[in-house]
């Protein structure tokens, strides 16, 4: 009875959040527009005004893990300060990464009214429920009691699966946003469920285990949002999606290569770190297409329940793929018995029960 009451309360609590998106943080957006307005008047934002922006949850993550504060100061100034228009024109003529960001920030400025409308729509729409419905299909749970924090900013036409999840507001106009959010939600819950503590992995094994984690985590999460890429002409217009599908089709050759490297890894303890780095560097797009190929075969041959059992356990994921490949009539590469024994040993060492 106590459990039933807890369950009802948990579901009620979550249901209440569905319609308010209480886990969404929009605090960076008005601070961003304030910086734009100050620069547009040919004034320099004060240090405290910049700090207001950088102390918001989304920019705090970005400037801690990837971008410098000077990057945003420099490029926002170039994009929005009229006194720098001649320098801006020169930069825009170059075909490099800096030019990409400047073009993007100019688009954001032109879309201000549309972005303000989009922000209000995101506040009202029950995005958590829509994303969660997709995510839970690939998790070993039927409900959750909390949602991942999501911070909206302006930085590039992308997002980051950090904590908080960082989402570019302009990008929400251009993506299939619900699918993206569902993918990142999957990472959030998967990390909570994982029985592998990466801190316990020894130095020599770290590169290999990192590669396997990327393949498992991205592969299963990609089943949440990328299945439609293979039967929709719309995604042919996305360079990333085109490259993703190309790499998925190359995965059989890559898995054959990885099997050979894993055999050497099992036999040569002294060279494990080097071989692990080679495996890590060989997987394209941080493991997405490789993992997607493997996860798809597991789901198609063994069923979604078997795939879900692999969430948070990369060793089980590789072994499940091999079981699925056995049912493929010789069309899919398999791992050797030596490799499978070695992976089972790694699972015993690093996965807690």
Task: Output the pLDDT for position 13.
Answer: 41
Question: Do 109 and 157 share a domain, yes or no?
Answer: yes
Task: Read off the tokens for 252.
Answer: 């059989």
Question: Do 302 and 180 share a domain, yes or no?
Answer: no
Task: Output the pLDDT for position 95.
Answer: 81
Question: Do 40 and 181 share a domain, yes or no?
Answer: yes
Query: Which one, of 166, 139, 165, 161, lies nearest residue 214 by Cα?
Result: 161
Task: Output the pLDDT for position 233.
Answer: 66
Residue span of the structural domain in which 102 resides: 20-187
Q: How many domains does the chain have?
A: 2
Task: Output the pLDDT for position 4.
Answer: 38
Burial 33-44 (b: 16+ CB within 10 A, else e): bebbebbeeeee
Burial 87-113 (b: 16+ CB within 10 A, else e): ebeebeeeeeeeeebbebbeebeeeee
* Domain-embedded: residue 258: yes
Domain boundary among 160, 187, 214: 187
Nearest-angstrom CA–CA distance, 268 and 261: 10
Question: Do 325 and 180 share a domain, yes or no?
Answer: no
- For Cα atoms 273, 279, 281, give the angle at the middle one, nearest 5 degrees: 100
- Sheet of 159-160: strand order equals 24-25, 150-153, 165-168, 159-160
Domain boundary among 187, 210, 236: 187
Task: Output the pLDDT for position 1.
Answer: 42
Task: Output the pLDDT for position 145.
Answer: 83
* Domain-embedded: residue 5: no
Neighbour tally for 186: CB within 10 Å: 29
Task: Output the pLDDT for position 289.
Answer: 97
Cα dihedral sign for 172, 96, 247, 293? negative
Query: Which one, of 190, 249, 196, lies nearest residue 224 by Cα?
Result: 190
* Domain-embedded: residue 192: no
Domain boundary among 187, 212, 241: 187
Q: List beta partners, residue 166.
A: 151, 160
Nearest-angstrom CA–CA distance, 339 and 341: 5
Q: Is the peptide bond before 164 cis (omega within 30 degrees of 0)?
A: yes
Question: Do 78 and 29 share a domain, yes or no?
Answer: yes
Task: Output the pLDDT for position 232.
Answer: 66
Question: Do 157 and 36 share a domain, yes or no?
Answer: yes
* Domain-embedded: residue 7: no
Task: Output the pLDDT for position 11.
Answer: 42
Can you list the residues of the chain whose pLDDT is less than 50?
1-19
Question: Do 46 and 143 share a domain, yes or no?
Answer: yes
């Amino acid at each position: 009875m106590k459990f039933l009451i807890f369950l009802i309360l948990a579901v009620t609590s979550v249901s209440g959040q569905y319609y308010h998106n209480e886990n969404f943080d929009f605090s960076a957006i008005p601070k961003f527009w304030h910086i734009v307005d100050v620069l547009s008047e040919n004034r320099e934002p004060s240090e405290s005004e910049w700090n207001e922006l950088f102390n918001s949850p989304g920019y705090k993550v970005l400037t801690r893990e990837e971008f410098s504060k000077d990057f945003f100061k420099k490029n926002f100034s170039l994009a929005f300060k009229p006194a720098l228009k001649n320098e801006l024109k020169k930069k825009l003529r170059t075909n490099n990464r800096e030019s990409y960001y400047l073009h993007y920030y100019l688009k954001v400025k032109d879309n201000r009214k549309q972005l303000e409308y989009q922000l209000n729509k995101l506040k009202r729409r029950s995005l958590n429920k829509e994303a969660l419905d997709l995510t839970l299909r690939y998790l070993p749970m039927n409900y959750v009691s909390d949602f991942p924090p999501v911070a909206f900013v302006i930085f590039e036409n992308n997002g980051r699966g950090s904590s908080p999840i960082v989402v570019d507001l302009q990008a929400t106009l251009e993506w299939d946003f619900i699918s993206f959010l569902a993918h990142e939600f999957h990472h959030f819950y998967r990390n909570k469920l994982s029985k592998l503590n990466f801190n316990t992995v020894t130095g020599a094994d770290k590169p290999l285990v990192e590669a396997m984690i990327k393949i498992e985590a991205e592969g299963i999460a990609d089943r949440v949002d990328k299945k439609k890429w293979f039967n929709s002409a719309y995604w042919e217009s996305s360079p990333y999606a085109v490259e993703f599908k190309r790499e998925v089709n190359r995965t059989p050759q890559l898995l054959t290569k990885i099997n050979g490297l894993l055999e050497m890894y099992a036999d040569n303890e002294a060279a494990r770190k080097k071989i692990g780095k080679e495996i890590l560097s060989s997987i394209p797009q941080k493991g997405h297409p490789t993992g997607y190929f493997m996860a798809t075969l597991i789901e198609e041959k063994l069923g979604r329940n078997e795939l879900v059992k692999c969430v948070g356990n990369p060793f089980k994921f590789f072994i499940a793929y091999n079981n699925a490949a056995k049912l493929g009539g010789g069309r899919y590469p398999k791992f050797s018995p030596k490799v499978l024994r070695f992976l089972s040993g790694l699972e015993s060492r690093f996965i807690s029960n």
